[in-house]
Amino acid sequence: MDREPLRDTDAYLRGGSASMALFPDENNPRGAASSFQELSQAFSQRITELQQLMCLRIEDHAKQFFLADLQGLEASVRALERTFKDIREHLARENAAVPKARALLQAARQQQANLLQIAANLPAHLPSNQQGAALTGAKPAPGDAAAAAAAAAAGAAQRRTAAAPAAAAAAPAAGGDDAVGAAARRRDALGGAGSGSFSSIVAPRWYVTQAELSSLATYMRGRLTLERVNSALDETALHAEQIARWMALVRSHEAKRVPVDERRRATEMFHGLAGREGIRGNYWFTETELRNGVALRPDKTGKGLLMVLRHLGRISEVRANVEGLGGSLVVYVLARPNE
């Protein structure tokens, strides 16, 4: 009687489903080892889960530490959000500035093309305040070079209106009230009614190129260089500017501003030369000015330079007879070359 229940229990433990068997068959040692390994893995997994659950438990005295960490994490996240917002705004501004940058780039390229065209068409000789430097071999100081560049820039702007001062400086004199009104108009044409307005008179300079100089005959060119010829041309322009200022001062009844030793001569030139045909309305000077020149003097070399300038169409000669100036004299008129 007692053996039947035990036998049933033993059969239950040994048989049935493999997943429910706690004690594998003693004749199958591999099955026993596999079941024990699975059991060990199940226990290990459960222990790991319990450890993770224990980590989630927060004690009361540790809550402040975790709260501070969470607040720091939130502040970092908000700072990142602000940074991303600033980046988006910056990108939006950059995108909006792209059309302006393209327009600026196009304008810069156009300006570059204009400057390249100007550089390609620059004359072989530019204005300089160092008169006769090529003749004497002197080198200008750095400050003088800067002043020369500034003077060249100013001269380029003033040459655009050079015709108006020349016409105003060489027109014949008038009498009475008409003379006063004409003087006022001429002062306006010269740049204003102030006492220093006549200093803005600038004679045009059409410099000689190397091709023009090479086209001359050898006997005419001689040993003259391009620098020497253009230095002489600079000097003729300076003489013409001085005469134009004197004529403007005499016409404006300000002859007292002319140097004392030249005042009588300036008045005679105004009445005897300024209104003559071929001289009126142009920049000019007389052969007397050559005596005070540096690059252009009344000697053999100076006469050769005058012949070259006359042959190249830079100056023309007008002969006149003025008793107050000693009789017959030669007037040199600045001329524009035929292009």
Helix (H, G, I), strand (E, B) or coil at 320: strand
Ordered by where they begin, the domains of the chain are 153-334 (1.10.10.1890)
Q: What is the pLDDT of residue 3?
A: 46
- DSSP labels, 15-51: SS-TTT-SS--TT-HHHHHHHHHHHHHHHHHHHHHHH
Q: What is the pLDDT of residue 113?
A: 93
146 burial level (CB within 10 Å; 0-12, 13-18, 19+): exposed
CA angle 230, 232, 237 (to 5 degrees): 95
The pair of structure tokens assigned to 77 is 């996240």
Q: Name residues whose C-beta falls within 8 Å of residue 247's C-beta, 6 or more positions apart in sequence.
A: 169, 170, 266, 269, 270, 274
Interval 83-121: pLDDT, tens: 999 999 999 999 999 999 999 999 999 999 999 998 888
Q: What is the pLDDT of residue 241?
A: 93
Q: What is the pLDDT of residue 173?
A: 39
Residues of the chain predicted below pLDDT 70:
1-33, 55-63, 123-199, 339
Global pTM reads: 0.47
Interval 292-302: pLDDT, tens: 888 888 888 89
Q: In what order do the strands lie in the sheet with 284-286?
A: 284-286, 327-334, 315-322
Q: What is the pLDDT of residue 137?
A: 42
Torsion sign across C-alpha atoms 299, 304, 305, 306: positive
Q: What is the pLDDT of residue 311?
A: 93
